[in-house]
Structure 1
């Protein structure tokens, strides 16, 4: 048998690390018996393998017992501490290192930014003797995640060289914050710099567009995808479907699903079913669900959330009950709290509030604020005072500083003519120490977002907008609708 050297063991450790901590320990035991564990290359490989498989204590023990360490040993051990969330320990190790390279500095930068300590990362960044594109990108990403796009842009503009990752970080951050014009300009500059988007960057930017509803930029990315033939990627098509659905263009999403998605997967089906359900097209969503099963795709937990959501929007209580009751039998899916939430909302909207309460009591989990919030909404819709009081009582334990729950209860009391109870609810609302957040709406027009908040007159066209709202209200009344509380009811 040929002699095994340290390189052989290093590669073996790296190969078995994907199988979990057990095989790593087996190889570790073997090399220990042969005396190769004292080799620096082997030690470094063991530290890395252990730390990536949850064996942090094993990794630290290997590092502490190494007779000789190089900069890779220190960097690997420090990265293990960062991965474990031991940021103070990692910084102590960083300060004790006999020598540092760029990887050492970047590891600490990454640790600070992931922990949200961007100012500490920037202080370290300023001290770096040498910075590479990873250093710059990490800081830009940190300030983007913090929401300080102004600082992120300052650092971005100062970068001596930018790569695809950095451009993607900046464009995605602007898109996610609704800065469509800024994101569009950066996208144009990126193309001028001959930086080509890949699948990962396209998906990242589209996800940001979906988050903020930046439809115009999403359409530009779609054109770019078609031109560069990136649409052959299922991941890209799924991101496009999700973006168009969340931006309100479900028909365009359906076109991408039907025409452009060559190889559909479960995510493709879930996205389009969820999109139609989200926009109230329950029958179409259930039709697609049937097609999904016919084409051999097995529904998963997400699929069933979308199916129950479709039933909820259609008001199909019996159909929703059937899908919910048979999930485990038909598809092997145990109902999760999200599925219970859909059913409780469906029952509540249908006026079956007592049945919704019974379902809450049968849950294997403690109800969260979403569950009680759904019940409270149903009570408001059906003017049910008794169960609204129960819901608000539970919500006050989960969200003690949320004044909005008492505001809803106060309105329910008012509609029931229980004025003294309404006054008490208003007092409880004030006693939370916070105010209900004012509602706001926004619309995208000519690649710019316009936000409107109750009572806010800051918009330059607020007078014309108010005049148009009054005219629309008049048209609504002439069409046979009259305001009743917070709703418009057809006579």
Structure 2
């Protein structure tokens, strides 16, 4: 028991019971001393004090009653229930008591109850609001994004001539910023006669949260002119603005200022620095800040890992994640896991992706819809569309992103019919497709050669759902027609588009021309594409390929000269394979790997076995006018063949092999992979730039349509 009960009667006070002096000073009130000198933490403590107030008459002393309500509201939900009970039994609460209950409701994340209470107070007209009423209510509006209610409160503040109060004005700025209207916040800010550091910080933070980084940095320059020094919170907002703008130079200036001012780089400020440098691509500086942080929390780790993952430095992201959970024994959160899954997806590291999945389950992390969506994407892009489907089927709650991810995954694997069936189920289930959904649907039709279905869905997105097609949708349709060989129709489709075609649209047509060796349309598409993207090496390569197939070596030579003149380098084909958690990358004719000698011996063995079963190298895509033996030698050393040789050399005979290529797989490698899968009895998956190819028993899932 916190303190003994006073020896008093439990009957209501009689006329002989002395009434307390309710007008006496604060220091003379025993209830204040009980509440402030003793740390009440249990409901029984407040009940005892409440009982004493009743029997002594202090229940009628508004400051004491307000103090009791405020203290009980600072506890858990039982304190909230008790405070509400006391308040409901108060016949005529004054503004001090109302303000206490408003503040308590907001602090307990019940802002709507506070706003409803305020309406009740106004209707009763017993207690007019004062300058202490509005800050809590405005905070409640900010928490619940009650924009209209916040504006109504602002009107009442002006009517009561309280808008000059600096505390009220600051919470108005916070409310408007939280509700997505930083410009109204700016009006309040400009009308303030005096501004302290908190006001400047709130306004700068409001701009940053609403994605107006330039305005935030401009306001900071005004803040400096006013002689106000930024604090840690301001610096965090400013660094976030630099991150959004990818302005590393300004970010470095802020970093220098932090160091010069002697401001301690705590974990919050350190995390902001890491995030800024990582988003600006300066990983050396980001890592220096990270390594220098004495006490890293999960947010600091996540910022560094996410930075690596966002910038395609997947190996570094995964290496740091392993250090986080093994050496540092640091718990993860959803942000960390999402970044790590993204890195697994980029590398195609299925085994690590499985380990992360098991870690999530074992650590009992929040198995949210977003996390499950990322797992679907990871498994699909690591070649296991079956596992992705199982996760999707087992989801208790799905959102539109869930459906979009699964539809796109099926499309990427060439399972057009299944993707369209899932799209139909999505609509039956009550989900409304969006523009992203139709990109997946049209892509599924394109990869599967479903021309009629593609046309139907393209028209239907406008008619049934009112979705205006974007360039991405037109690009899918051009790709659909181009893959099917309807090149003239695809070109006409581009001309009839309501907007100017971009590089992706013309690129889709050019790719179709390469497949079907259409020089005339291919040259026109290439010219359009070079006007838009004069440094796009892929345009020169594809057009050279078309000319080479037609044996137009003079035109090939001219294109090569043009590339040399413009300083354009061809992007080399690169294939990667993950073995025992380590990613191995190979380029064309690569001899940089430590086991190069064994890899090429294995490649020779594979080539001999394939030739024994009828393999003849396909050299039509070689862009050099050399003899046939030289062409064969070139295609036999393509990056994916080196990767598959390494995979056969280093994995168990029954293991599946996943190879990721940065470009489209060529005809020869595609034919070779089919034969390797049959000769070596291996399941091989190749993820190239546009889709998946699953090779098994001499066939490919794309049915040679890619």
Normalised TM-score (structure 2): 0.64
Cα 1:217–1:169 shift into 2, 3 Å = farther
Does the alignment pair 1:427 with 2:561? yes
Q: Secondary structure at the match of 1:483?
A: coil
**Number of aligned pairs?**
490
Higher alpha-carbon deviation: 383-392 or 395-404: 395-404
Look up the match of 2:202. 76
Mapped to 2, the partners of 1:473 and 1:353 lie a distance apart of: 36
TM-superposed deviation, 1:193: 4.7
Unaligned runs of 5+ in 1: none
Gap change, CA 1:273 and 1:54, over 3 Å in 2? closer
Residues 38 and 66, structure 1, Cα contact 8 Å, conserved in 2: yes
CA distance in 2, matches of 1:19, 1:225: 32
1:4 matched to 2:129? The reply is yes
2:342 corresponds in structure 1 to: 207
Asked if 1:464 corresponds to 2:598, the answer is yes
Distance 1:103 1:119 in 2: 17
TM-aligned CA deviation for residue 375 of structure 1? 0.6
Q: Residues 310 and 73 of structure 1: is their aligned pair in 2 closer, same or farther, counting only changes over 3 Å?
A: same
Deviation at 1:379, TM superposition (A): 0.6
- Give a deviation string over 1:443-463, Cα, whole Å, max 9, x none: 211111111123442221223
Aligned partner of 1:373 among 482, 507, 528: 507
- For 2:438 and 2:128, the matched residues in 1 are separated by 57
1:245 to 371, 377, 380: 380
**How far does residue 40 in structure 1 lie from its aligned partner after superposition?**
0.5
Residues 406-430 of structure 1, C-alpha deviations (whole Å, 9 max, x = no match)? 2321221232233443333333333
2:498 matched residue in structure 1: 364
Which is further off, 271-280 or 118-127?
Answer: 118-127
Alignment partner, residue 216 of structure 1:
351
| Residues 1:47 and 2:177 are matched in the alignment | no
TM-superposed deviation, 1:243? 1.2
Contact 2:169–2:192 (Cα < 8 Å) also in 1: yes
Give the distance between the partners of 1:373 and 1:158, measured in 2 at CA.
Answer: 47
Q: Which moved more, 1:155-164 or 1:473-482?
A: 473-482
* Equivalent position SS for 1:460: coil
1: CA distance, partners of 2:616 / 2:447: 22
Is the deviation greater in 66-75 or in 20-29?
20-29
Distance 2:422 2:504 in 1: 28
Q: Which moved more, 1:41-50 or 1:189-198?
A: 189-198
Q: Is the 8 A contact 1:441 1:451 kept in 2?
A: yes
- Asked whether the 8 Å contact 2:372–2:391 carries over to 1, the reply is yes
2-side partners of 1:309 and 1:330: how far apart?
19
CA distance in structure 1 between the aligned counterparts of 2:596 and 2:189, rounded to whole angstroms = 65
Q: Which secondary structure does the structure 1 equivalent of 2:584 belong to? A: strand
DSSP-derived class of the 2:163 partner? helix
Q: Decide which moves more: 436-445 or 114-123.
A: 114-123
In the other structure, the counterpart of 2:398 is 264
Whether 1:314 aligns to 2:448 is: yes
Q: What's 1:124 paired with?
A: 257
Match of 1:86 among 215, 225, 232: 215
2: CA distance, partners of 1:101 / 1:19: 27
User: Which position in structure 1 is the counterpart of 2:431?
Assistant: 297
If the length of structure 1 is used for normalisation, what is the TM-score?
0.89
Aligned equivalents of 1:362 and 1:465: distance in 2? Answer: 51
Residue number in structure 1 paired with 2:620? 485
Change (3 A) 1:468 1:94: farther
Unaligned runs of 5+ in 2: 1-124, 622-666, 673-706
Distance change >3 Å, CA 291–CA 397, structure 1 → 2: same
Distance in 2 between the 1:57 and 1:297 partners? Answer: 35
What do you get for the CA RMSD once the two structures are aligned?
2.9
Look at both structures and tell me which one has the larger radius of gyration over its CA atoms. Answer: 2
Offset of residue 351 of structure 1:
0.4
CA–CA distance in 1 between the matches of 2:309 and 2:353? 9
CA contact (8 A) 1:178 1:449 kept: no
Where 1:86 maps in the other structure, the secondary structure is helix
Q: Which of 295, 320, 323 matches 1:161?
A: 295
Structural mapping, 1:120-199, within 5 Å: 120-127=253-260, 128-175=262-309, 177-180=312-315, 183-184=318-319, 186-190=321-325, 193=328, 195-199=330-334
Residue 534 of structure 2: SS of its match in structure 1?
coil
Q: 3-state SS of the aligned residue for 1:37?
A: coil
SS of the counterpart of 1:183?
A: helix
Contact 2:407 2:423 in 1 (8 A): yes
Distance of aligned partners of 1:464 and 1:147 in 2 relative to their CA distance in 1, 3 Å threshold: farther
Asked if the contact 1:78–1:94 (Cα under 8 Å) also holds between the matched residues in 2, the reply is no
| Contact preservation (8 Å) 1:6, 1:36 | yes
Change (3 A) 1:59 1:463: same
Instruction: Tell me by how many angstroms 1:184 deviates.
Output: 4.5
Shift of 1:241: 0.6
Asked if residue 36 in structure 1 is aligned to residue 171 in structure 2, the reply is no
Deviation string 1:318-369 (CA, Å, 9 cap, x unpaired) is 2222222223334443332222211110110110011111211222221111
Measure, in 2, the Cα distance between the counterparts of 1:35 and 1:387. 72
